[in-house]
Amino acid sequence: MTTTLSPERTVTPATARRSLQFILTTGLLPALLILMCVVFAIVEPRFVDGSNLLNVARQSVFLLLIAMGQMIVLINAQLDLSVGATVALTSVVVASVTAASSGGPESVLLGLGAGLLLGVVIGLVNGCIVAFWKVPSFMATLGSTSVLTGLALIISKGAPIIGLPMIFSDALATSSVLGIPVPVLLGVVIAIGMGIFMSRTVPGRNMYAVGGNRAAALVAGINVRKTVILAFVLCSVLASLAGILLTARVGSGEASLGASFVMLSIAAAVLGGTSLFGGEGVLWRVVLGVLFLGVLSNGMNLLHVSSYIQELVIGMVLIAAVAAERLKRVA
Amino acid sequence: MTANPLVAIRNVSKKFAGVTALSDVSFEIKRGEIHALMGENGAGKSTLIKILCGVHKATRGSIALDGAEIVFDGPQDAEKGGIRTVFQELNIVPQLSVAENISLGSLPLKSGLVDRKKMLERAADALSGLGADLPLEARAGDLPRSSQQLIEIARALMGEARLLILDEPTASLGENESRQLLSIVTGLARRGVAILYVTHRMHEVEAIADRVSVLRDGKFIETLNAPMDEAIIVERMIGRPASSLYQHSRREPGRELLVVSGLGSATLRDVSMTVRAGEVVGVAGLLGCGKSDLARACFGLHPVQDGGIKLDGEQIARPSPAGMLERGLVYYPSDRRTEGLVLGRPLFESMTMGSHRPARITRKGFLRTQKEYELAHSIAEELDLRPMQLDRTSGKFSGGNQQKAVLARGRMRTAKVHLFDEPTVGIDVGAKADVYRLIDNYADAGHGVVVISSDLTEIIGVSDRVYVMREGRIAAHLTGADITEENIARSFFAAAPA
């Protein structure tokens, strides 16, 4: 009897595919991030400078907050396109409220409270439209993007809102605790909290079930609507927090803030392995995805790469990330 | 032996990442025979099919087609060799017409455009060859599943088909439709097409198969000739003598746990049903008679217009899955892949899903993940779920084990009424016995159990009382010695009251 199937031929592609899959699922992003840091450090020694690294962290916090929110919504098999407009409206509202305040320490709390409350409202509206009216989240949040942007322009009359009390920017942008800037500290604490929420609480676990198989989640007794609404609320609140911190940093309320975060937040979440089809995504990987984009942009800045080319590079990275996700599914 | 067999499988083995799925399997398929392939889930049937149709390559051994050894580099090669497969998951584009679906992938062209006339002719020929009659221009998605299956078979038979592999073709068909499909299959065999027929349904094998090959744990056990003896086949499949599949203790029913009165909906007409503590109530009926909707209505998945549902004395105004689970009524869906499990997530998550709080695996709002896993593990052990790697994704488990993961739900909370919707569809004999044992144990423990099934023997085997449904109504209510196959079947078909 002749054996027509040579073992080598059957083994090699499978092994190659397995190792590719291993890199795709576990190793690729951390490996690329390290590689990129090494390359930048060699080409441009200023990159590893302590103050520059802190700068990367400071610049990445806004995207980190928004990308975590986007990840939560994506895990529910939804999408939030309104995160950018949420940043803009929050900025305008927070600036108006604090500019009209006394300027004392309570104005910081006032600004924070107003911004976060706004986030809750936006999330509730988005979530209810998706959960009760069954509008696809793509369309629902595309619509709310327009509404929120319109509101921001109406309130600001198209001009930056100035006159924010100094203490607002001092507290939320420039001050440090133990040498770590407050926004970075906030980002780290919230990332840890979100990681625990998604992996160790019932509502967090329910989100994976709802995104992975909505019908099964319903039959298992999970309140699907409540879960989806909660995801949108968390996402909007995180976007609003980013809006507050960004306003404090810029020192004025701007209706033009945040538009680029829509694409970047999806890019960072997907780079971090979050599935666009729901049910899959791990928080710390999204943090890596954010750092990846942050380091890439910082390194290119140091190397004086023009912003036009930066735009192009980031687009290509996004496409590569999604392609890698598809490959992972095939492998 | 003068003529070669059509297909000779010789010493075929297959390993996946070190795990042996098939070892040293050899048997032959003759021209024009209906060759049944049986075995429990995980016995290696699917792997063998995938090797035959070119999806997988055997690690060792060979396959000869018409006496010549062949190597398939992919499904296209198998197709060229005349081996066609219809998988359980149908490959139908619901938006396209019947004719377009039949010609899918090989649309006839005329100067670069689709030749509609030829396409319709071809489809008509293919269907009449099967003795089937379908509207050629209807949208495939609008047709019942049985018709979609015929489309797929017609497509598979395009060109020169020599071996047709059917993977559980009747798994989601009703009694009548199954019968029609079986006669089509026998017709094909008479025309000389060899059929490799994978099924869990014993009576189908008895009805149409010329021979049966049995696999167990990846090994070839035996090829048996007709006439078939069910007991022997089952024994070969499970590796021990087949004791009675059904378990049915004697017990006295207690108080009324679930009372449905005058239920009316899009598919239900004035349905009333009572389920008492400590009894198993069977609901029989043909596909589309509303028996599944009855259970779904009780669980809040099927909207009702009229009537009332009372659970343990409490009138339920607006049932919802979460609310009913909280009150101790559990519904086990018939389709575990679409409604039971989160296929891409670890199995234990699907087991505990929705039950974290009642199962007491939370503390101050946080999941106790260690305890969660231990709980899933102990229930899996009780239900004999295999393999015990509960962190593997749900999609990788066989049907019977997926079903056990869904059934675990009733163990995660204090339940008193269980609604089983087609609990044993597509699962193997061993798992079936486990499910029947579970049903019987619930009734013994004083729970109310409803079993909805299209399988008559199952209904008779497990039920204390039987409701038969027809066209959304209760057509008959049978108790005691009246629960017979004849009585139930008569109620299926009896003419609607004039």
Q: What is the CATH number of the domain that holds A252?
A: 1.10.3470
CATH number at residue B307: 3.40.50.300
Q: Is B225 helix (H, G, I), strand (E, B) or coil?
A: strand
The answer, for A218 touching chain B at a CB cutoff of 8 Å, is: yes
User: What are the chain B neighbours of A196 within 8 Å (beta carbons)?
Assistant: 366
DSSP line for A36-79: HHHHHHHH-GGGG-HHHHHHHHHHHHHHHHHHHHHHHHHHTT--
Residue B71 or A122, more confident: A122
Q: What residues 181-200 of chain A have any CB closer than 8 A to a CB of chain B?
A: 196, 200
B259 in the same domain as B231: no
Nearest CB among A2, A202, A213 relative to B367 is that of A202
B31 in the same domain as B18: yes
Nearest CB among B61, B343, B353 relative to A220 is that of B353
Please report which residue ranges of B318-451 form alpha helices under DSSP H. 321-326, 347-352, 369-382, 399-407, 429-444
Lowest-pLDDT choice from A240-249, B39-48, B61-70: B39-48
The mean of the pLDDT values for chain A is: 89
The answer, for B343 touching chain A at a CB cutoff of 8 Å, is: yes
Is a pLDDT exceeding 80 seen at residue A298? yes
A61 pLDDT tier (thresholds 50, 70, 90): very high
Lowest-pLDDT choice from A221-235, B218-232, B243-257: B243-257
A15 assigned to some structural domain:
no
The contacts of residue A184 (CB under 8 Å, 6+ apart) are A54, A57, A58, A61
CB-CB under 8 Å, A201 with B60 = no
Phi, psi of B37 (to 5 degrees): -120, 120
Domain boundary among B351, B386, B413: B413
Q: Is B283 helix (H, G, I), strand (E, B) or coil?
A: strand
As given in the structure block, the two tokens for residue B191 are 């025309």
Which helix (H) or strand (E) element contains residue B119?
helix B116-130
Residue type at position B318 = R
Question: B315: closest CA among B376, B247, B240, B262?
Answer: B262
Q: Are B428 and B237 in contact (CB under 8 A)?
A: yes
pLDDT reported for residue B171:
75
CB-CB under 8 Å, A205 with B367 = yes
Is a pLDDT exceeding 80 seen at residue B493? no
B337 assigned to some structural domain:
no
Q: Are A272 and A32 in contact (CB under 8 A)?
A: no
Q: What is the mean predicted confidence (pLDDT) over B359-373?
A: 91
The answer, for A225 touching chain B at a CB cutoff of 8 Å, is: no
Angle at B215 between CA B79 and CA A331, to 5 degrees: 50
B390 in the same domain as B488: no
Residue B29 or B454, more confident: B29
Is a pLDDT exceeding 60 seen at residue A107? yes
Lowest-pLDDT choice from A115-124, A163-172, A230-239, B40-49: B40-49
B215 assigned to some structural domain:
yes
The answer, for B59 touching chain A at a CB cutoff of 8 Å, is: yes
Please give the residue range of the domain that contains residue B369.
342-413
Using CA atoms, how far apart are residues A4 and B21, in angstroms rounded to an integer? 20
B408 in the same domain as B354: yes
Sign of the CA dihedral with B265 first, then B271, B276, and B279 last:
negative
pLDDT reported for residue A20:
61
Please report which residue ranges of chain A form alpha helices under DSSP H. 7-22, 28-43, 50-75, 83-99, 106-132, 137-156, 166-169, 182-200, 202-212, 214-219, 224-250, 261-271, 283-302, 307-330
CB-CB under 8 Å, A212 with B345 = yes
As given in the structure block, the two tokens for residue B85 are 């497969």
User: What are the chain B neighbours of A221 within 8 Å (beta carbons)?
Assistant: 321-322, 324-326, 354-355
B336 assigned to some structural domain:
no
CA distance to partner chain A, nearest, from residue B59 (Å): 6
Give first-to-last CA distance, chain A, whole Å: 33
CB-CB under 8 Å, A200 with B322 = no
A132 assigned to some structural domain:
yes
Is a pLDDT exceeding 50 seen at residue A233? yes
Q: What is the mean predicted confidence (pLDDT) over B393-398?
A: 89
Residue B172 class from Cβ within 10 Å (0-12 exposed, 13-18 middle, 19+ buried)? buried
Domain boundary among B206, B238, B270: B238
Q: What is the mean predicted confidence (pLDDT) over A319-329?
A: 71
B79 in the same domain as B175: yes
**What pLDDT, in 10s, does the model give residues A252-289?**
999 999 999 999 999 999 888 898 899 999 999 999 99
Using CA atoms, how far apart are residues B48 and B50, in angstroms rounded to an integer? 5
| Beta strands B362-363; B219-225: pairing state | unpaired
Taking CA atoms, B162 is separated from A250, B66, B81, B435, in Å, by: 74, 10, 8, 39
B424 in the same domain as B284: yes
B427 in the same domain as B296: yes
pLDDT reported for residue B447:
96
CA distance to partner chain B, nearest, from residue A200 (Å): 5
CA distance to partner chain A, nearest, from residue B376 (Å): 15
**What pLDDT, in 10s, does the model give residues B454-490?**
888 889 989 999 999 988 999 999 998 899 888 888 8
Is a pLDDT exceeding 90 seen at residue B399? no
The answer, for B362 touching chain A at a CB cutoff of 8 Å, is: yes
B334 assigned to some structural domain:
no
Asked if the peptide bond before residue A105 counts as cis, ω within 30 degrees of 0, the response is: no
User: What are the chain B neighbours of A224 within 8 Å (beta carbons)?
Assistant: none
CB-CB under 8 Å, A216 with B345 = no
Taking CA atoms, A177 is separated from A55, A172, B275, in Å, by: 16, 11, 66
CA distance to partner chain B, nearest, from residue A208 (Å): 8
The DSSP letter of residue B139 is B
pLDDT reported for residue A19:
60
Using CA atoms, how far apart are residues B334 and B424, in angstroms rounded to an integer? 8
pLDDT reported for residue B108:
86
Using CA atoms, how far apart are residues A55 and A32, in angstroms rounded to an integer? 20
B363 assigned to some structural domain:
yes
Beta bridge partners of B29: B7
The answer, for B457 touching chain A at a CB cutoff of 8 Å, is: no
The answer, for A219 touching chain B at a CB cutoff of 8 Å, is: yes
Q: What is the mean predicted confidence (pLDDT) over A98-113?
A: 90
B215 in the same domain as B129: yes
The mean of the pLDDT values for chain B is: 89
User: What are the chain B neighbours of A17 within 8 Å (beta carbons)?
Assistant: none
B483 assigned to some structural domain:
yes
CA distance to partner chain B, nearest, from residue A209 (Å): 6
B101 assigned to some structural domain:
yes
CB-CB under 8 Å, B409 with A4 = no
Residue B67 class from Cβ within 10 Å (0-12 exposed, 13-18 middle, 19+ buried)? exposed
Domain count, chain B: 3
Q: What is the mean predicted confidence (pLDDT) over A235-244?
A: 98
Using CA atoms, how far apart are residues A116 and A125, in angstroms rounded to an integer? 14
Question: A271: closest CA among A74, A61, A19?
Answer: A74
The answer, for A50 touching chain B at a CB cutoff of 8 Å, is: no
B2 pLDDT tier (thresholds 50, 70, 90): very low
pLDDT reported for residue B244:
66
A62 assigned to some structural domain:
yes
Residue A165 or A24, more confident: A165
**What pLDDT, in 10s, does the model give residues B82-119?**
999 998 878 888 899 999 999 887 888 888 888 899 99
Residue A17 or B351, more confident: B351
As given in the structure block, the two tokens for residue B316 are 């339920």
B216 in the same domain as B365: no
**What pLDDT, in 10s, does the model give residues B304-325?**
999 999 999 999 999 999 999 9
Beta bridge partners of B448: B279, B417
Domain count, chain A: 1
Nearest CB among A9, A202, A219 relative to B357 is that of A202
Nearest CB among A7, A9, A219 relative to B301 is that of A219
A193 assigned to some structural domain:
yes
Question: A295: closest CA among A36, A45, A101?
Answer: A36
Largest CA distance in chain B: 76
Residue type at position A259 = A
User: What are the chain B neighbours of A4 within 8 Å (beta carbons)?
Assistant: 62, 69-71
User: What are the chain B neighbours of A10 within 8 Å (beta carbons)?
Assistant: 57, 59
Question: A235: closest CA among A265, A256, A258, A264?
Answer: A265
**What pLDDT, in 10s, does the model give residues A167-188?**
999 999 988 998 899 999 999 9
Please give the residue range of the domain that contains residue A321.
46-330
Residue A312 or A13, more confident: A312
CA distance to partner chain A, nearest, from residue B361 (Å): 10
Taking CA atoms, B334 is separated from A215, B64, B243, B414, B422, in Å, by: 12, 40, 26, 22, 5
pLDDT reported for residue A1:
40
B333 assigned to some structural domain:
no
Domain boundary among B186, B218, B238: B238
Q: Are B428 and B44 in contact (CB under 8 A)?
A: no
Using CA atoms, how far apart are residues A283 and B77, in angstroms rounded to an integer? 44
Is a pLDDT exceeding 90 seen at residue B260? yes
pLDDT reported for residue B91:
84
